[in-house]
Amino acid sequence: MCGIVGAMYFDRARAVEEAHLRAMADRIVHRGPDDHGYHVDGNVGIGMRRLSIIDLSGGHQPMFSPDRSKAIVYNGELYNFRDERAELEKRGRAFETRSDTEVVLAAYETYGDDFLSRLNGMFGLAVHDRARGTLTLARDRLGIKPLYYLVDDEKLVFASEIKAVLAFPGVQATLDPEGLAAFLRYGFTPPPYTLFKGVRKLPSASILTATGRDVRVREYWRPTYRDKHQGELGEVAEGLYALLADAVDLQMVADVPLGAFLSGGMDSSGIVHLMREAGAERISTYSIGFGATHAMHSELPEARRFAEDYKTDHHEIVVEPDMAELFPRLLTALDEPVADSSFLVTYLVSRLARESVTVILSGVGGDELFGGYRRYLNTRLNRYVEWIPRPLRANVIAPLARRLPADRNSRLLNSLRLARAFLGHADLAPVDQYREYTTVFSPDATHALLGAQGEIPDYHRRLYEECDSADPLDQVMYFDLRMSLPEQLLMLTDKMTMATSLEARVPYLDHRVVEYAARIPSEMKIRGTTLREVQRRALRGRLPSYVFDRRKRGFGAPVGAWVRNDLAEMVGDLLGPTRLRHQGLFDAPTVERMLADHQAMRADYSDQILALLGFQLWSEHYLGAGGPTM
């Protein structure tokens, strides 16, 4: 695990300077505190910072082919490197180290651009091939590891984090207005956008090839939702369990201490169970919670009970953070803001885990694969709503729903919030309903905030049409798998764990598990109003029964309540009318109305306020007190 950097001048006579690579790598030393290395070959230079996980003494990067015509830097882990190494040795390849990175480079030499199909892992990588005159960048199938790049008239610059790209001479931190509009719409920046003009995000499952000035990006993998499994639920569930067991077993390979995040829910409890089944005698687990005021967000009691039953070496942290100090620091680590409060708790529990382990297994991805989000229920509940006459829905139920109070810090008010969202959009098609549920600021709201703006792609519609299934559940889950999962949840997981020099692994996102799950019929994922039916069947009888009775709880912080209390001063400063009018970016009356409605619990604007607050902190850090530069 590490962070990678590099540059390529299109003018072959212009040499990259190693000092510039070092300056880039110095900005991401947290990703690799154990080692660093650089290689310059004329107009191309690559470098890395390494967190040693496998082959602690022999895994130095960059690594080279035997004739030194090819060089690689690799951020991630190749879980099937032992099998691939054995296959390559049969083909006559000799190896000098036990490192997975050397196996990746050998696969590139052997299979060419098709080498990515051989890799089971998470990665952002770069290969310089002097013989072909190419620089190749690639990101793993699910986007577990990030990779950013900039292309202008004279060069290509890339890195694992944006702050490293900005460290290259001549690269300026300038706001991209289209990136801002996209961020407000989705709560994260969908690829290829970032908030920085000129800096682009390589999409998941993509490979970039630069041959001189010719820079091309193409997709190399896409899951299919066709050809559904034909067996009974029990048979499909057993097949899923076998794959999950193999994925966890593969991802436990490490030469350093390894643990697991534990919430007490099915995803994390299942991983701990499978770790024990794979032979782990002593497992370190880590949980996070809040005080009595925010007990709804606390996972400690359920996690503690499971840890006691499984006799893990359990660690807990109760969150009482100084938000005024923590918010700005974590926004800098993220590179870009996200309208998802789980980055806060991810950082804090990662910091706790790093005190005793270097690698952590996480349950991220289970909701997107097995149907775990309550918003997925709309694809099933619509059939009942259709029994209600349309005039009654439009003229009575929807107006009443909009008047319901909403607050995520109360189970009752949170249920009313969900009912309000569903009933208020019940007349829309399922995929359009989903757009309303998962959009932070609607197009109209974004226009009210920003005024005139460029046309932002409708990624919901694009991905629904791209999905090779007409089932509404498949379509909305495909959207999450390709968009919000990699660019929000996995991005913040990577940035927050790496900020503490902790490597996070996500066994549910082994691409074989993803491909298998995509072919599970939707009625096996959601049966009636029961979420995750196939996952429940796979784990029932293996996990304690109380795991299945646990209430669904999002992994996040009580930001909505903090806005009214702990963060009130920060909100008043950064989102107050004086600051907004001076900044000249957001419409002050629109923000003022939003804050007033949230304060009075007439609406829950937690995500919207978090997005605006995060952007303001990001702007102060990267663009300076003078505000955005368009």
Identify whether the C-beta of residue 184 lies closer than 8 Å to the C-beta of residue 618: no
CA angle 242, 243, 244 (to 5 degrees): 95
At 321 the pLDDT is: 62
Task: Verify that 577 and 512 share a domain, yes or no.
Answer: no
Band of pLDDT at residue 153, cut at 50, 70 and 90? very high
Q: How far is CA 106 from CA 2, 72, 109, 518, in A?
A: 19, 10, 5, 31
Q: How far, in Å, CA of 331 to CA of 38, rounded?
A: 28
Q: Is residue 314 part of a domain?
A: yes
Side chain identity, residue 147: L
Q: How far, in Å, CA of 626 to CA of 174, rounded?
A: 12
- For residue 530, the 8-state DSSP code is B
Q: How far, in Å, CA of 421 to CA of 158, rounded?
A: 41
Task: Verify that 86 and 177 share a domain, yes or no.
Answer: yes
Q: How far, in Å, CA of 49 to CA of 22, rounded?
A: 10
Domain boundary among 219, 254, 281: 219
Q: What tokens does 185 get?
A: 């719409």
- What residues have CB less than 8 Å from 281, skipping those under 6 apart? none
Q: What tokens does 500 get?
A: 């503490």
Task: Verify that 186 and 98 share a domain, yes or no.
Answer: yes
In 130-248 the beta strands, taken as DSSP E runs, fall at 134-139, 148-151, 155-159, 199-201, 206-211, 214-219
At 271 the pLDDT is: 97
User: Is pLDDT larger for residue 295 or for residue 276?
Assistant: 276
In this prediction, residues 583-598 reach a mean pLDDT of 92
183-203: burial string, b at 16+ Cβ within 10 Å, e else? bbbbbbbbbbbbbbbbbbbbb
Q: Is residue 43 part of a domain?
A: yes
Type and span of the H or E element at 445: helix 443-450
User: Is pLDDT larger for residue 88 or for residue 455?
Assistant: 88
Q: Is residue 376 part of a domain?
A: no
Side chain identity, residue 574: L
Residue 105 — φ and ψ, nearest 5°? Answer: -65, -40
pLDDT in tens, 53-98: 555 555 688 999 999 999 999 999 999 999 999 999 999 999 998 8
Q: How far, in Å, CA of 474 to CA of 537, rounded?
A: 20
Q: Can you state the angle between helices 588-599 and 606-623, rounded to 10 degrees? A: 130
Q: Is residue 411 part of a domain?
A: no
Task: Verify that 88 and 181 share a domain, yes or no.
Answer: yes
Identify whether the C-beta of residue 64 lies closer than 8 Å to the C-beta of residue 47: no
- Residue 604: count of CB within 10 angstroms of its CB: 22
Q: How far, in Å, CA of 6 to CA of 160, rounded?
A: 10
Type and span of the H or E element at 46: strand 44-50
Q: What tokens does 387 get?
A: 């029994």
Q: State yes or no: pLDDT of 578 exceeds 50.
A: yes
Task: Verify that 247 and 211 share a domain, yes or no.
Answer: no
Task: Verify that 568 and 527 share a domain, yes or no.
Answer: no
Q: State yes or no: pLDDT of 340 exceeds 70.
A: yes
- What residues have CB less than 8 Å from 333, skipping those under 6 apart? 30, 347, 495, 496, 499
Whether the bond between 192 and the residue before it is cis, its omega within 30 degrees of 0, is yes
What are the start-end ranges of the H helices in 211-284?
233-251, 266-277
Q: State yes or no: pLDDT of 302 exceeds 80.
A: yes
In this prediction, residues 118-138 reach a mean pLDDT of 97
- Residue 127: closest CA among 150, 141, 151, 111: 111
Task: Verify that 153 and 13 share a domain, yes or no.
Answer: yes
Task: Verify that 311 and 366 share a domain, yes or no.
Answer: yes
pLDDT in tens, 208-220: 999 989 999 999 9
Domain boundary among 524, 549, 574: 549
User: Is pLDDT larger for residue 603 or for residue 616?
Assistant: 616
- Residue 363: closest CA among 202, 229, 543, 238: 543
Label residue 545 exposed, middle or buried (CB < 10 Å: 0-12, 13-18, 19+). Answer: exposed
At 522 the pLDDT is: 95
- What residues have CB less than 8 Å from 608, skipping those under 6 apart? 339, 440, 441, 445, 594
At 57 the pLDDT is: 54
- CA 273 to chain centroid, in Å, comes to 24
Task: Verify that 215 and 253 share a domain, yes or no.
Answer: no
Identify whether the C-beta of residue 115 lies closer than 8 Å to the C-beta of residue 91: no
Domain span including residue 267: 233-371+473-549
467 in catalytic set: no
- For residue 68, the 8-state DSSP code is S
Q: Is residue 145 part of a domain?
A: yes
Band of pLDDT at residue 630, cut at 50, 70 and 90? very low
Domain boundary among 219, 250, 274: 219
Q: How far, in Å, CA of 369 to CA of 390, rounded?
A: 33
Identify whether the C-beta of residue 315 lies closer than 8 Å to the C-beta of residue 284: yes
Band of pLDDT at residue 550, cut at 50, 70 and 90? confident
Task: Verify that 163 and 258 share a domain, yes or no.
Answer: no
CATH number at residue 283: 3.40.50.620
CATH number at residue 78: 3.60.20.10
- What residues have CB less than 8 Å from 459, skipping those under 6 apart? 186, 190, 479, 483
At 53 the pLDDT is: 59
Q: Is residue 143 part of a domain?
A: yes
If you write DSSP's letter for every residue of 512-527 in order, what string do you get? HHHHHHHTS-HHHH-B
Q: How far, in Å, CA of 248 to CA of 272, rounded?
A: 9
Task: Verify that 305 and 334 share a domain, yes or no.
Answer: yes
Q: How far, in Å, CA of 83 to CA of 87, rounded?
A: 6
Q: Is residue 444 part of a domain?
A: no
At 629 the pLDDT is: 46
Q: Is residue 322 part of a domain?
A: yes
Average pLDDT, the chain: 88
In this prediction, residues 120-126 reach a mean pLDDT of 97
User: Is pLDDT larger for residue 386 or for residue 262?
Assistant: 262
Identify whether the C-beta of residue 109 lies closer than 8 Å to the C-beta of residue 84: no
Tally of domains in the chain? 3
Q: How far is CA 221 from CA 133, 204, 468, 515, in A?
A: 25, 9, 14, 11
Q: How far, in Å, CA of 449 to CA of 473, rounded?
A: 32
Q: State yes or no: pLDDT of 626 exceeds 80.
A: no
Question: β-strands 313-319, 284-290: how paired?
Answer: parallel
Identify whether the C-beta of residue 265 lies closer than 8 Å to the C-beta of residue 302: yes
Sheet holding 503-505, edge to edge: 313-319, 284-290, 258-261, 359-361, 503-505
Given the residues 1, 2, 72, 524, the one annotated as active site: 2
Question: For the ranges 41-45, 485-489, 552-556, which has the lowest average pLDDT?
Answer: 552-556
- Residue 293: count of CB within 10 angstroms of its CB: 11
- CA 238 to chain centroid, in Å, comes to 28
- What residues have CB less than 8 Å from 67, skipping those under 6 apart? none
Q: How far is CA 604 from CA 293, 416, 513, 571, 581, in A?
A: 18, 11, 35, 15, 24
If you write DSSP's letter for every residue of 540-596 in order, what string do you get? BTTB-THHHHSPP--SS--HHHHHHTTTHHHHHHHSSHHHHHHHTSS-HHHHHHHHH
Task: Verify that 214 and 249 share a domain, yes or no.
Answer: no
